[in-house]
Amino acid sequence: MENASHPDTLARKIRERAPNIRPRIGIVLGSGLGQFAERLDNAVYVPYADLPGFPNVTVHGHEGTMVLGELFGVGVVCLQGRKHAYEGSSHDIVKTYIRTLKRLGCEYFFAISASGSLCENVGPGELMLIKDHINFQGTNPLVGPNDDEFGPRFFPLDDAYDRETRETLTGLAENLHISLHEGVYGAVMGPNYETAAEIKAFRMMGVDAVGMSTVPEVLVAVHCGMKVAVIAMITNFATGLATTSHSHKAVVEMASKSSEKVCVLLKQFIQTLA
């Protein structure tokens, strides 16, 4: 009996909805950035509810829809919303939606996430291109039996954030006069924001931005052979650097304000693939 939530099954189902779109790049859009998908040509919308194994999105700012379309003739698939470990999700959900992107033909995986800054010179509204990460979540979506169909049991992360892609994005940002910092991402479990002591420790370890997502997606994407890039939208200073308490509402609002720069940068990168 066919497994309805297997990436191969899901990819076939999605192709039936969008038979003329062959995506080369898959993008997970975090809090406040769902609007990028509205810029795609020939867009086809597929609710997560129609895709067994996809997230039941519960976080404000995450719409819960897959959008397939084109920009400059390049096939693009956007995921409006992701699943977070603090929601109690199983690892299978992250593996399902990332591997479905791979089965649809995506060569590139981009993750956009709202993040807190640990750098005094990188404030709210700025963008940070992630060059490496430290996983503080205490878990990994690839724990358990390995699926050799997608990747090897053991795999390296020395170029997890594809160097060539980062160089392209850096060059595009310079041409567009967009300030694009580079740094290390620290992934925490959440749902609470971090303590001042934790942030102090993270800074000593070399973390530049902190968030509650992204790294599980990166691990699965690298495992199945996609070229990965992550752009952190800085929405606030982390605890200890901030002068006010955090709120998710403020995070989403700041992410929305930063979204235009991200949209322009993504469009320019996609144009390089045309």
Catalytic residue set? 31, 62, 84, 86-87, 114, 212-213, 236, 248
The answer to whether 22 and 14 are in contact (CB under 8 A) is: no
> Quick one: which of 78, 105, 58, 86 has its CA closest to 263?
78
CA distances from 115 to 15, 71, 112, 183, 209 (A): 33, 27, 9, 12, 6
The answer to whether 230 and 129 are in contact (CB under 8 A) is: yes
- In angstroms, the CA 93 to CA 32 distance is 22
- In angstroms, the CA 155 to CA 18 distance is 33
Across-strand partners of 108? Answer: 25, 227
The answer to whether 27 and 97 are in contact (CB under 8 A) is: no
Buried b vs exposed e over 36-67: b needs ≥16 C-beta within 10 Å? bbeebeebbbbebeebebbbebebebbbbbbb
